[in-house]
Amino acid sequence: MGGRVTGAAGALAEELPGWVSLLRAPNPGPMTLDGTNTWVLRAAPDAPAVVVDPGPADETHLAAIAAHGPVGLVLITHGHPDHTEGAPRLSELLGGVPVRAADPAHALGAAPLTGDAPLDESLGIRLLTTPGHTADSVCFLVEHDGERVVLTGDTILGRGTTVVAHPDGHLGDYLSSLELLSTYRGVPALPGHGPALADCGAAAEFYLAHRRARLDQVRAAVAAGATTAPEVVAVVYADVDRSLWWAAEWSVRAQLEHLGVEQP
């Protein structure tokens, strides 16, 4: 969710590596921006591709992904339906291709994501454990042909900022995950929604500054007498469309928990 930040969290990537393709799902909205980004990575023209985040169960979108076959592996950044709903059908279309996710509930025909062993040797894909947006959120560092990218899921978006989906999401974890991603300076970020960014590290630092500023605003709202998450939302997110306050309340509850403020 964007909140007061509606622009990009940094400079946009001018171009993607030749081994990266983007297929955007037709599910635009306030929480999904232009739609869910499905990333297709292929080390060589005749090599099996790796698909990251199949997106919703939209037959046209899934058929477009399958047309990029052969596919050897499907990876999931986190379990929200706009990223995972189409995974079972895509696996079926691809003849039972395994799906790997941190949450076993979203893994199909393969073990859940753990450890730091390469997930695909030809692309040098490594797991970055980045909880916070959700408990199962992960990113993927890919190093191939002298180029690197970080697929950030919803941990970093191409535009605006993301929701910490309390109680599954946790602000302390999210801040730690952003600190990890801030070390990838100069590495493009391929997000789950919105445009690709030129610098993952710079975007992570922007997000950290935004979150710390939000915490200061929440502290001030509590000090001024706000006692519940809805009351804090009404103060801190006053300039956000009220139709999105329900999502802002997730983040506020995570912020209040982080600050040790008891909630009813």
Confidence of residue 4 (pLDDT cuts 50, 70, 90): very low
Which pLDDT does position 75 carry in this prediction? 98
pTM (two decimals): 0.94
What is the chain's percent helix, strand, coil content, to nearest 5? 30, 20, 50
pLDDT in tens, 147-180: 999 999 999 999 999 999 999 999 999 999 999 9
Residues 6+ apart with CB under 8 A from 90: 51, 54, 62, 65, 66, 74, 97, 99
